[in-house]
Structure 1
Amino acid sequence: MKLFWVLLIFLKISFVKSQNRTCGMGFTLVLDKCLIVFDDGFPHSYAEQSECVTMYGGTLVNIHNAIENRAVSEFAISKNLETFWIGAFCFSNQTSSCYSDDYSGPLKYSNFHKGYPLIEKPSNGCVSMLTKGGQAGRWINSDCQKSYLSFICELPSIIINPAYSNCHDKFNGFCYLHGFGNMDYAESYCQQNNGTVMSIQSQMENTFVQYRLVTEWILLGAKRVFQNSYAWADGTPWGAFDNRNPVDRSLETLDCLVFYQLNGFWERTDCSLKQDFYCKIPLEPKVEDSKCNSTMLMAPTEISSGDGPCTWQLVTPGAYPITIYFTEMANGTTVELYDVNMQLSQEIKQSGVYFDAKTNILNVAHDGVGSFKAVAKAQTYHD
């Protein structure tokens, strides 16, 4: 009984948190998920490649905790579903061998019926949920090809922001704004629209781009800084999700990346080539971000003083040295600039000045005394 009340309280809290979120395209908001039912019977393999993916860019519903399990179960019951596919697959009878369809790795939560998972052959590792009687919310595994079940499709919910009510393409807290031009133009255009050239941070987002943005080639907001390493324009770490084509035949001297809609891979491209791009604009109110203690932070970018001592490693593609412009600086503030070998190059003590680095890497340090704001750009941006 105590667990029931804990679940109920958390459900109420979760629904309150979701009041600033919504769904589109006929989806229903459940906690922070957008869900839609496909109630005809389908084998699991079809469900994974159905309109859920090709039309919406979604996945089978994924369940990560008891709160979500209860909410999804109640949603399914309200839609008169009996047993339905969920986004999980098991390779053996051990729950540690069960993985989520959203590419988040092994399941951290499960709610299998007693005796499950029971994997007797490779094809029956697909997971479904029961909704009837005392077993409602429990999971079992079924044959992926021979079992025909309903399924629930999931998308991230959309943050409500009246300023972007006309944005056509929204996903997981961002508006995707289309443009056309080379990388220099794309960076400038996106900054003017409070965003950055699109980065892709997960397989789910990659699927969304492939099936929802429906543009054959899309310039990505990544530039090469070393032989096999790139930096995202929005400052997110490179490598958390990397979907480059392993047999990319484009010239190795090309420093930008382009998304290929046909297969979802990223390939090398010429930064000066004019092509389609998307600005990725946060829908939540912008929070001041000092980017304190960042490494491989791609210019153009803005940095500012944090709550204490901070360092920044600013980078641009190899051919372009960095210039840093100091737009604001309080009295008594000192910012130290170091070259790629960590040799002190300059101390900055006032605003309205800039410094031209000699290479594509500039290290910046602030001891936490005073405050400042600065903008870093590639030197090709000079007027």
Structure 2
Amino acid sequence: MKLLLFLLFSTFSRTISQQCSAGQIAYSSLCLQFIRTPLDFHSAESICSGFSGHLVSIHNSIDNRNVASQAQQFTDGAFWVGAKAIAQDVTNPLNWYWTDGTTFDYQNYQAGQPTSQGSTSCMQVLPGTVCRLPANSPHKPRQPAPTPTIPSHCPSGYTWFSETDFCYKNFVRSTNFNDARSSCQADGGELASIHSQVENDFLVQFTKTGLTVKDNNWNDQVWIGYVYQNQKWQWTDGTNSTFVNWGDGEPNDMQKEWWTVLVADPHESKNSEATKWNNVGQIDERAFVCKRAVLH
């Protein structure tokens, strides 16, 4: 299951309102970050941990009401919280844990919940209540994606974009360029090539976390298939290089930076790179995008 957004929290020892970044909401000793990227539970938790946080935990009715109220500013659908079951008996609170390590000491289930649905159960919030659904539940919230997924056009897990008539999949996994490309090829595609501003903007929306990256950390971007070889830049899928979208001053350091990332999230120290491309060395990045032909 992929839900519409999730929450990041971090704790600080100083005044919380001074420590929360732009776009975050100060609440108690936490910063709440609502992220619209559709992700499964484990990918959502991975993104949060990459920013020194976790999916949010809820410990009382006040937390439940306030978190749900804040979320309604961003969506009328469901969103992940950090609870996961470790056994099939989901009615036993001892079989649940919060990913932030806090005590599972509050429950506010919807009528008829929780129900036993296997050992892969995770928890989501609906407006006004907390309920548990399994990770493979057929329930899907409203998703404001630029173009809807059309299953008949794309393999499972891929999203169809009508402007290009191609299928795309965002893998949230820290990896280097070679491993990212191998994963795309094993999945029947290639690292994404980009041939217009429309396609570029779609992939930015498709892959961004909604967070501002701190300290110029270039390990928090997204691999695409643009490489420098044979004295020229070219796409790994063999398509022509008809469109470029380099950030200011890029590409640079051409002695070693022969690979390209999409800068999906803004950087505090170099905001001009946001939504553009940066050439980098063979480092690990947080995600990569695969692209493949439609099925029809």
- Structure having the larger proportion of residues in strand: 1
TM, length-normalised to structure 2: 0.39
Q: Which structure ranks higher in relative contact order (CA pairs < 8 Å, sequence separation ≥ 6)?
A: 2
TM, length-normalised to structure 1: 0.30
Rg larger in 1 or in 2? Answer: 1
